[in-house]
Homo-oligomer: A and B are copies of this chain.
Amino acid sequence: MADTGHVAKPIGIFDSGLGGLTVARAIRAALPAEDLVYLGDTARVPYGTRSAETVIKYAIGCAERLLSYDIKLLVVACNTASGVALGELEARLSIPVLGVIQPGAKAGVQATRSGRIGVLATSGTVASGAYERAIHSENSAMRVFAQAAPLFVPLAEEGWVTGAVPRLAAERYLQPLVEVDVDTIVLGCTHYPLLNETIHDVAAELLGHDVVVVDSAEATASALRETVDTGVAESGTAGELRILVTDLPGQFASSASRFLGKPVQGLDIQAIDL
């Protein structure tokens, strides 16, 4: 390392748990050469039910730990943390910080024809109003309808992503969005892309017309590609994915591979203390 003029710095990603691996997966697909360090705060998941003060405290702790890996850019893969802690992180850090909300909001605005955008998220994200603000900062004429869908998280973790239970849950959560006739639905939680198909099909059935379902993970990866291309140096070789977790739950491997979309065998996974 000492003699190379160029040291490739990794991109840091953190989430409250493993859900953010959907973001890591999308980033790997978009930027395969980049080294990634992913920190999942599995000891303190979920953030969505916690107060803003607590989430900010946790987010700073995660960011500080990732800084010790000399990251060149921080992706906040957690919607809750993106909603309440991004300003604080930007103020404290000298590297670029990218959340998942603004990219998802932008993709929603680009997709809609009717200007009526639904957002599905955790109770905490809905209560924060973060998606309304982000969408209105892109286009103030948009109508935004945010709906909490907390049961989608355990359904994704259980792997119950198709069939009667997720369909019934989706019907219940989508009903208010159907009543206001949205044509675009932004998935405002890292877990929800696993239920993408069910959400899309139930929404289209109930609405009686097609609907665009925006995956924030994909949108964030696209935004990141623009950032890395235009400003931050890209590493030359095939990228590595290092995973740090603050707790190693019993079903770690099956959950992680569900979110990552492939087996976790052979991955560099390390338990850390925060």
Contacts and interface: CB of A to CB of B under 8 A. Distances in A.
A124 B172 contact: no
B43 A54 contact: yes
A187 to B, nearest CB: 18
A249 B49 contact: yes
A164 B43 CA distance: 33
A233 to B, nearest CB: 38
A130 to B, nearest CB: 14
Contacts of A249: 49-51, 124
Size category, A interface: 20 to 34
A201 interface: no
Interface string A126-165: 0100000000000000000000001101110110100011
A247 interface: yes
Nearest to A164: B168
Given A43-B50, A169-B165, A251-B123, A153 B154 contact: yes
A248 interface: yes
A113 interface: no
A92 interface: no
Nearest to A53: B247
B154 A250 contact: no
Nearest to A248: B51
Interface string A228-269: 000000000000000000011111000000000000000000
A44 interface: yes
Given A51-B247, A248-B51, A155 B165 contact: no
Contacts of A168: 164-165, 168
Interface in A28-53: 42-45, 49-51
Nearest to A157: B150
A251 B50 CA distance: 10
A154 B49 CA distance: 12
Contacts of A155: 151
Interface string A150-194: 110111011010001100110010000000000000000000000
16 contacts: A43-B54, A45-B49, A50-B249, A51-B248, A54-B247, A123-B250, A124-B250, A150-B154, A150-B158, A151-B154, A151-B155, A153-B154, A164-B168, A165-B168, A165-B169, A168-B168
